[in-house]
Amino acid sequence: MGASERFERYMEHLAAGLGHADRHAGLKGYCTGLMLPLSRKSVEPMAARIDPRHASARHQALHHFVAKAEWSHEELLRRVAQWVVPKLHTDAGACWIIDDTGIPKKGEHSVGVARQYCGELGKQDNCQVAVSVSLATEQASLPVAYRLYLPKDWAHDAKRRRAAGVPPKVRFATKAQIALAELGALLAQGAPKHCVLADAGYGIDHAFRGRLSELGLHYVMGVTSALVVWPPGLEPLPPKRYKGMGRPPVMPRRTATRQPVSVKDLALALPKSAFQTISWREGTNETLSGRFAAVRVRHAGGNVGRARLRPEEWLLIEWPAAEACPRKYYLSTLPADTPLNDLVAKAHLRWRIERDYQDLKQELGLDHYEGRGWRGFHHHASLAIAAYGFLVSERIAAGKALGAKKNFLERQVPALPADYVPRGAPTRAAPRLKLDHDARSPARSSSARASRSVSVLRPGKRKTPFVTQ
């Protein structure tokens, strides 16, 4: 069976969750457009390329499908997972990766747009932010949940909510709360309790980490150097004795000589012999390795109010030999007998979400949606993930780089007619020698795409999907 036949079967599998049969053409057309080498993956250029003889009609149909049609993006992502997850070989070990991504956006009317931190830009700016949960193995990874973060100004603005079609049930929630809701929904569908990975933006929230533990999930999370812990061999004094009146004391006690320390100070106090050089994976040009130490600590930041003495967990420290201070710190609830190599491997598996977002944005137009509504935003994102899911499954099956299978549909798509004029352009503009809607920029060449692709390990046995139909 060729790639085109597998794509048809994949589309049939996804279409079964869309409801009306008239949405099947929209699904296939939109996913096809997202996988084509267009410089812009918005509705108009995709419609013009996949159906140039009826570009206007196809544009209207695709716009209705993505922005107006009442189908569930959660159900689409569930069906994507059903197709891809059996190929990820989770029996060899898997993790949930929690992260968020920023999408730069001008104006103030697109749903969720606000001046906030945008990771893509590395600064505060106008953008939308979405929170995702991905399933990752050493072989590949895939986002399986994706939801827009709605800032307080948006959540409490009834007029803007109505204009953008924000569902009434959606209320303000922090990114950590959104991630917990996404994880909870996955677990309710029967997903396994894999270890959870996240960066320091989530790791510094001890309530978030505590909730993961309550759900029975281990975690490996980045934390900042200022996080305060009880070092090995040092604990606070027990609470004062109960005198029989009022509420029993629960807060552990500190003294002038019995105080917790920051993880940075703890790392600086460790002897050189505590650090080992560990390799975690093969990079593009060399094996990736670094100096690491791991010690058992107790987080001390929760010793107020209703907190009890917190359980021991791992503090993993990454300190390159050429640098004056440690580079990164992680807290982990993996078992006390976990080898240092495994701690390092788990901590560095989080890099896969960065590569996922890179490919989803640069190659599949995740950030190209031009609509303003809540429904269209989530529909477009789920369709981009659906296209990505097929390419990931093809890459795994073929044992090749992602770029090798990316343009398998291009040969079937007719070229644009010579007299095509894009919407919004002057009808009698200067003659166009070339239309650039489908031209690749130098940074987006096929060779560049291949070099950015996630490396592939060897295939393995199939496993039952973590969600069921």
Same domain, 117 and 266: no
Residue 413 pLDDT greater than 60, yes or no: no
The pLDDT value recorded for residue 240 is 75
Please check whether residue 191 lies inside any domain of the structure.
yes
Question: Residue 284: CA atoms inside 13 Å, Cβ hemisphere, count?
Answer: 6
Cα(345)–Cα(336) distance, integer angstroms: 16
Helices vs. strands in the chain: H and E counts, helices first: 16, 12
When the pLDDT of each residue in the chain is averaged and rounded to a whole number, the result is 85
The pLDDT value recorded for residue 467 is 52
Residue 75 pLDDT greater than 70, yes or no: yes
| Residue after which a domain boundary falls, among 349, 367, 401 | 349
Note whether 332 and 345 are within 8 A (CB). no
Residue 243 pLDDT greater than 90, yes or no: no
Q: What does the pLDDT average to over 321-340?
A: 95
- pLDDT, tens digit, for every residue of 96-132? 999 999 999 988 899 999 999 998 898 999 999 999 9
Helix (H, G, I), strand (E, B) or coil at 295: strand
Q: What is the largest CA-CA distance in the chain?
A: 91
Q: What percent of the chain has pLDDT over 90?
A: 67
Please check whether residue 93 lies inside any domain of the structure.
yes
The pLDDT value recorded for residue 407 is 47
Say which amino acid occupies 62.
L
The pLDDT value recorded for residue 258 is 85
Residue 47 pLDDT greater than 90, yes or no: yes
Same domain, 381 and 307: no
Please check whether residue 249 lies inside any domain of the structure.
no
Please check whether residue 416 lies inside any domain of the structure.
yes
| Residue after which a domain boundary falls, among 349, 364, 389 | 349
Same domain, 335 and 410: no
Please check whether residue 465 lies inside any domain of the structure.
no
Same domain, 334 and 370: no
How many domains are contained in the chain?
2
Strand partners, 133: 98, 145
Note whether 130 and 147 are within 8 A (CB). yes
Note whether 402 and 359 are within 8 A (CB). yes
Helix (H, G, I), strand (E, B) or coil at 192: coil
Q: What are the helix (H) ranges across 16-124?
A: 24-35, 43-50, 55-67, 73-84
- pLDDT, tens digit, for every residue of 424-467? 444 444 444 443 444 444 443 433 433 333 333 333 443 434 55
Cα(44)–Cα(25) distance, integer angstroms: 16
Same domain, 52 and 158: yes
Domain membership of residue 118 as a residue range: 3-199+354-424+434-452
Same domain, 185 and 324: no
Please check whether residue 49 lies inside any domain of the structure.
yes
Give the pairing type, strands 195-198 and 95-104: parallel
Same domain, 342 and 358: no
Structure tokens at 268: 């600086």
| 104-109 long-range Cβ contacts below 8 angstroms, 24+ apart | 104/367, 109/160, 109/163, 109/164, 109/372
| Residue after which a domain boundary falls, among 349, 384, 409 | 349
Cα(58)–Cα(43) distance, integer angstroms: 9
Same domain, 345 and 359: no
Same domain, 162 and 86: yes
Judged by average pLDDT, the poorest of 200-209, 274-283, 326-335 is 274-283
Structure tokens at 450: 């291949």
Judged by average pLDDT, the poorest of 179-183, 200-204, 392-396, 409-413 is 409-413
pTM for the model: 0.83
Which residue from 175, 172, 177, 176 is spatially nearest to 156, judged by alpha carbons? 172
Please check whether residue 366 lies inside any domain of the structure.
yes
Same domain, 140 and 219: no
Please check whether residue 177 lies inside any domain of the structure.
yes
Same domain, 60 and 107: yes
Same domain, 130 and 154: yes
Q: What does the pLDDT average to over 141-154?
A: 97
